Chain A
Amino acid sequence: MKYCSTCSEPAQNTMVMCAQCGARSFSDMPHVTPASASPPEVIDDQIQPVNTGNINTLPPKFNGNASGVGVVPEGWLASPPTPWRRYAARMLDITFFGYLGFAVIGFVYYAVAPYSADKFFSIFSGPGGTVLDLVITALVGCVLSGAVIGLSGSSLGKLLFGLMVVDNNGNKIGAVQGMQRDIAVYLRGLGLAIPLVSLFTLWIAYSKLKETGSTSWDTDKNCVVWHRPSGPGQYLLNVIGIFILILLNAAARVLNAM
């Protein structure tokens, strides 16, 4: 058990944010405030029912999922879905974690077996190398970002585009389930990142998300995606996220040209 650093609300260890106030920092002990030090009878008078006004409940449209989704912390929304923000976050995560994963794999492979590593990486400069590069980078990116999302509820892309992946009770989904979820995204949503195939699978995923409020992989894994409301701050973060995505791709092109 842990406690919210802001409002002292008790929380499960796996929770990513306070269900009461939405704060993300927790402590092992609740805050000791003058109010809590007051005599019990006074506290009893001050106790209020849980402020349901701070909790966003799902609209009737998503009643099918609503029983599983539970409560959404203040400042976050479960609906309507934000497919474009999710797509942009996914692209940024695939790029960032794909390159990071490849950097780690490359370092380890070259350190242990440099000749075999060189032979392996030369396949990306051969015929069909660009498509193979896309397919494998997306796979590595999905596995790594899945682990990060599972352990923290967020990732670089999701942090910038204001998204959070949790289970139906608002808990982190864990590394293994996070990776399983992202591999499902890789297969069903991105179509293995094969050009044209991915357009088709992305369109199906987009239609399902708009229609039902959830993607097939989230429904299967009992996951929900919360998002920040759109405001000037979030718009700025969206722009920064897209700028980082462009920078990463430009850096990769320069590196390939070398």
Chain B
Amino acid sequence: MPKKIKFVTILGAAAALIALILLPIDQYVANNSDNLFRSLVLEALIYWAVLIISGAILISFLVDNDGDFVTSLDLSDLAAGLMYACFIAYGINLVFSSSFKISNAKNLKKYSGVAAIVDDNWVQINGPIGDLTLKSVNQIAYSNDIKVVELHSSGGLIASALSVASIIDRNKITTVVKGECASACVLIAVSGKQLFVSPDASFGFHNASSISQPESELGKYNSMVASKTMFSFLKKNGIPSDIIKKAESTPANQMYYVTGADLIRRGIAIRLNE
């Protein structure tokens, strides 16, 4: 009988913890209270409370009537041990990722970017790329028939740049670069139906860096994933592998520049006749 109770307890605890992982409590609370910090703390607290309570019940099965630990373990103890190692690791991840999400939410406001300016069917992105840039391009593309997007930017958020690139690709828009177009800006430039550049334009390549806690494990991991995504996108859009190799070895705080003339010579871009 105690074995059956133990088995049911292990299954129940696992089901409760998996349910907590699957249920987006943080999103529900954030939507209702509009407070990200509170919702993330609440989610972590609920998760750890369930984890500790169920763990304590399972440990009680390992204590005999003399208050000592039983020495005769069985397979269910091994399975429960492995399972709890995973749940504890997830709980630790929940704490770290909550701190990262809060820091990220604060920094996203700083990196909102500039709004795109529209003049007839010619759009200009003149400054950092961020959420505001994406929203404005989306709005303009919805109400205007954009033909050209002119870029002058030293970079910005990769996620926003990729979304803008997707809009440009979907609407078969031409891109133009006359001055500097670096980092995330290049993602937008290469997604154009045609890329027109002036010979003295400069294209900057480097690794990505997380806007939040860049030296933390999560920050480094996010930077690495973003870099891989960025290089894979550039490769897919025709940037030669020698440029990508150099970009991969360029840290986030430095820049590897390629001139517009070089891109024209390699057949990636078309010379802009002004």
Contacts and interface: CB of A to CB of B under 8 A. Distances in A.
A114 B218 contact: yes
A141 B93 CA distance: 26
Contact of A111 (B72, B74, B93, B220): B93
Contacts of B89: 107-109, 111-112
B85 A104 contact: yes
Interface string A82-116: 00000000000000000000001001110111111
Interface string B5-44: 0000000000000000000000000000000000000000
A152 interface: yes
Given A13-B72, A115-B221, A148 B78 contact: yes
A169 interface: no
A103 B96 CA distance: 21
Given A14-B72, A147-B78, A115 B224 contact: yes
A152 B74 CA distance: 7
B217 A114 contact: yes
Nearest to A105: B85
B217 A115 contact: yes
A185 B85 CA distance: 26
B92 interface: yes
Contacts of B92: 111-112
Contact of B220 (A107, A115, A147): A115
B224 A118 contact: yes
B86 interface: yes
B146 to A, nearest CB: 37
22 contacts: A13-B72, A14-B72, A104-B82, A104-B85, A107-B86, A108-B86, A111-B89, A111-B92, A112-B93, A112-B96, A112-B217, A114-B217, A115-B217, A116-B217, A118-B224, A147-B78, A151-B73, A151-B77, A151-B78, A152-B74, A152-B75, A175-B73
Interface of B: 72-75, 77-78, 82, 85-86, 89-90, 92-93, 96, 217-218, 220-221, 224
